[in-house]
Amino acid sequence: MASKLAAEEAVNTACPAGVAQPLLLTYDALPAWLQDNAYVLQGYRRPQYSWSGCARSVFGYLHNETVNIQTHLFAALGFLYLIFNVQDTHIGYTTLTWQDRAAFTLSLLAAAFCLIASALFHTANCHSPNVSKKCNALDYSGIIVVSVGSFYPTLHYGFFCDHYLKIGYIVAITVAGAASAYVVLKPDYATPTYRWARTCVFYALGVVALVPLVHAYFAYGLTRMQNEMGFHWLGACICFYVVGGMIYGCRVPERWMPGTFDYFGASHQILHVCVVLAMLSNYKAMLTGFEYWHGQRQGICDA
């Protein structure tokens, strides 16, 4: 309680008694725990120290986290809709199994969890240092969960008739995800200093996911990958993640024109849009594989 009061007093010292506190702060007026991107100069919410204050900021006024919150909040609602209506996708297909249902459900749940965790973090990162750190860890967890969970349908349909190989790759990507979680959830890695380290860990997890794709290319060829995995959609998904991650890591375009992209168009906001587009591309890839195996092939493998 004492530290909370001290922090509140430190932020409020610039305001004389009886003068209303500004709703938003500049970067230089922020406490150290809220300073992350020196190229975004204004539009920061005051430390709230209450959940109600954080909640009011979701729709109550414009700030430099508004786009980050709302892009992933509304996208999460979209994926929750897909989860609750997943059976509509399977109507008319008689050969699907519990594995198909599991692949769809886990992939959609992973996407929804990632988006909800992200929206929660960007809503609550102005609450207090302790809450911000915990929500930041939840945000990283969501990234790892979606990186692993969204790949299950790719492995299921890409190695549909190679059961043991499919299981082996599923175990491998799951273990790699757990190892990545161990690294990025360490408290030291939550600081801005390790921005690139975090990005590289996520890229390393992506490299692990490339192994079965390369295997499929040499074993089956590009045409089969297109049919069975929706590889063109997977390619789009990968591009969105890579481009978004590079923009986030380089902090462009705000690095070039500090203060210009404080509310709209900053690197983190671009990353959020890229993440949603990547998830939608992955969903289309999943539908492509499902339609091929249960529409065209009727669930039948070659003899």
Neighbours of 298 (CB within 10 A): 10
Query: Assign residue 228 a region: left if phi > 0, alpha if psi is -120 to 50, beta otherwise?
Result: alpha
Q: Which of 126, 82, 110, 72 is nearest to 277 (CA)?
A: 72
Neighbours of 65 (CB within 10 A): 24
In this structure, which amino acid lies at residue 143? Answer: I
| DSSP per-residue string spanning 264-285 | SS-HHHHHHHHHHHHHHHHHHH
Residue with tokens 């860990």: 201
The three-state DSSP-derived secondary structure of 200-230 is: HHHHHHHHHHHHHHHHHHHHHCHHHHHHHHC
The answer to whether residues 143 and 183 touch, using CB atoms and an 8 Å cutoff, is no
The answer to the question of whether 268 is labelled as a binding residue is yes
Q: 253 preceded by cis ω (within 30°)?
A: yes
Structure tokens at 298: 């009727």
Residue 25, classed as helix, strand or coil, is strand
* Per-residue DSSP letter, 30: S
E-strand stretches of the chain: 24-25, 44-45
Residue 80, classed as helix, strand or coil, is helix
The answer to whether residues 166 and 100 touch, using CB atoms and an 8 Å cutoff, is no
The answer to whether residues 268 and 248 touch, using CB atoms and an 8 Å cutoff, is yes
Known binding-site residues for Zn(2+) equal 122, 268, 272
Known binding-site residues equal 122, 268, 272
